[in-house]
Each structure stands twice: as structure tokens, then as C-alpha cells.
Copies of this chain bind each other. A is one copy, B any other.
């Protein structure tokens, strides 16, 4: 239905009849999203808003559960400092206000201690629950109304390999998730990331040749998505003398010499990695191709609300022996994380905040103007079409109100 709706709307661009992508301010529902690492959730309830829904996550008897973060009685958050795990040893959580106690496995209220055995609430009031799975040391939650697909469908297969080592950095950034998804489109390296440590040894292109760089829908063993294909990226590092302006890029001599030497000696075309970026639903970036001994990088843009998202970064490697294990560990903590995952990617996030502020100033529909502008944007133009055709569901701005209607109505009915 959402599908049909999407297809039908994909050409209508008015803000009164938005495409699924334009409507997905709060993201696409009916997907598995990574939220926390396994170590970040324990017996104390932890709050997180996802796609506009206010949830809490809690661990009971080793398993993680996610429920709506509002007691059905007075709306108290279970993550309030006064909230407690009262009946230790049971899969329950107790509201810090009147003690309403719920079974976290199905959301059912199992006791209202302050009303005693005659209370009519237990067995009748149920909190909304959200399916949760733990894979690769990451906690995945299903946000949506449809029946969940197997979680493996929404996880890159590489992360599920037996020898996969998975490192996570998850931060909440200010910005709408879509503008970070569209940021991965190449072309900003020499400015946003100019001379960022991570670029020192990369053979960046002065510009992308439209004849060579062609975005396309791609499917490999790891899943489907939209990729920007590049042939012979290694040769593509060049300088361009722009008439009337000057040389582009203006990198210092020492750096050009360093890079040229690096290319000749190592024959490693670092630039290739970036240029083969691939976007997949519900909004994550990855590098296609079967994992080799090298490491892989993934990043999810998990919508929190209209103006915030979890920037969920995953770096993974696949050691076959102890040396590979240690070598990658050193490479990650000495170079990859500080220079790349943190500094380099925070530069992108700064730009995402700019675009978000622009759309906020100009109101809904402003993002239309980003479309079809330039050849470099063909990448996320195709990405938008891809979402309009294949997205399972669309986020909605009234998630909370809908919850309010859904939840206590049942109770009222039972009473009248």
C-alpha cells in the first residue's frame, strides 16, 4: 500500500502531495535500525526517541527489550530517575509513580501493587512493544507497524561473518537524516575534508568525469542499493587549471609529492574506496564488494526526530590470524578512529546541519531545489527515486499522537 502510494506519488513534487522521500522527514518505518551497542543497555532503563517514537530500552535476564516510554496511567517515563526495577529476577519494569508493573516481553501490565488483588488493570492494559534483536554486538530495533522481516535482511552480511570484528561510534547529531544520506555523494572532499589526515594518502579526483562516474542501482551478495561506479579511480587524481580562477585543487607541494610517491610505490588507489560509495535503505552507507583482509566501513543515519539523527558508524575487519587482529586494532585506534571516524566525519555532519537549517528557514519543499541541479547530484537524485520505489514505509510526524490514541483507548473500552 505504502509501495503503491510511493509509486503513484513519485512524480508529484508539490509539498501538498509529497513523494515518500519528501514525506520521510522522520525516516522510513518498518526497518531494523541500529541504536546501541550491547554494552550500552543493561538493567536500568535507557531512553531513546526513534522516528518520533519515545522508547526505552532495558535488559532482563540477558535479553534486551524496547517499549514505549510512557506509563499508560499518567504518562510517566520509565526512565525517570525515580523509575525502578522493583521485582528483581522477573522480566518486568515498575513505574516510579504508582508502581504499575509491566511484563517487558509483551508490554502487558501484570500488577498494580498499590491497588491490590482487586485491581482491574492487570491483563487489560498493554504498552506498545518494539521487536529487538542483538547481532554483531549491536542492538537492532524494528520501528514500524508491519510484521518484522528477519533481522538479517537489514544487516550487511559482512557484519555477520564469524571472524568479523565490529567497532561502533554512535553520536546524536543535529540535522535531518536525509541530508547526511545525500552528503555521501562525492565531490566535497577537497573542501570539507581538504588536507584531513585521512586524505593524505588518497588519490582524489580534481573533479568527477560524468562519462565515468555513473550512479546505478546495484545488487551484490551484501544487499541492494544505489552506488556510484568508478572505472580506474587510481588514474583519476589530477590538477585542473580553471580559466580565470587558478589551479584546482590548491594543495601544497609537499603534499602532491607525497601522494605521487605513495601511488608509485604502493600502487594503492585509496581514492577508490570513497568513489565506490553505496546507499541502501533505510538510510545507510556502505562499500560494496566481498570483504577482503582490509576493513569495511558502514554508517547509518537513524532518525531521532525532524532535526536530529543518530550517526551510527561501524568499522569492521576480518582477521584470519592474531597479527591481522592486532594490526587492525592498532590501525583503528591510532589512525582510523581519531582522524577518520571522528574528525573527518564530523566535518560532514557540520554541513548536514547547514542544509537542515536552510530547509528549516525556507519551510517544507525547499529541498526540492536540491534536485536535478547538477551532474554530481545525479547520485542522490537516483537515491531519491530508489527510495520512492522500494521503501517499505514512511515516517509520520504524528507518531506520538497515534500512540496516545492507540494505547489507553483499549482500557476505556474495557470499562464502559
Contacts and interface: CB of A to CB of B under 8 A. Distances in A.
A86 interface: yes
A347 to B, nearest CB: 7
A121 interface: yes
A411 B192 CA distance: 24
Given A96-B192, A372-B412, 16 more contacts: A72-B373, A75-B366, A76-B354, A76-B358, A81-B350, A87-B242, A96-B191, A99-B191, A99-B248, A114-B187, A121-B374, A125-B373, A363-B404, A369-B404, A372-B415, A373-B411
A234 to B, nearest CB: 18
Interface string A104-134: 0000001111111111110001000000000
Given A362-B400, A366-B75, A374-B73, A245 B209 contact: no
Given A87-B246, A90-B244, A118-B210, A98 B373 contact: no
Q: How large is the interface on A (under 10, 10 to 19, 20 to 34, 35 or more residues)?
A: 35 or more
Interface of A: 54, 70, 72-77, 80-82, 84, 86-90, 92, 94-99, 101, 110-121, 125, 179, 186-188, 190-192, 206-210, 240, 242, 244-246, 248-250, 347, 350-351, 354-355, 357-359, 361-363, 366, 369-376, 400-401, 403-404, 407-409, 411-412, 415-416
Contact of A99 (B125, B188, B358, B415): B188
B98 A376 contact: yes
8 contacts: A74-B358, A75-B354, A80-B350, A90-B244, A97-B354, A110-B245, A113-B249, A363-B404
Given A82-B192, A90-B246, A361-B54, A116 B76 contact: no
**Complex A-B, nearest 5 residue pairs according to Cβ-Cβ distance, in ascending order:** A75-B358, A116-B207, A369-B408, A114-B187, A362-B404
B207 A369 contact: no
Contact of A245 (B77, B101, B121, B246): B101
A376 B114 contact: yes
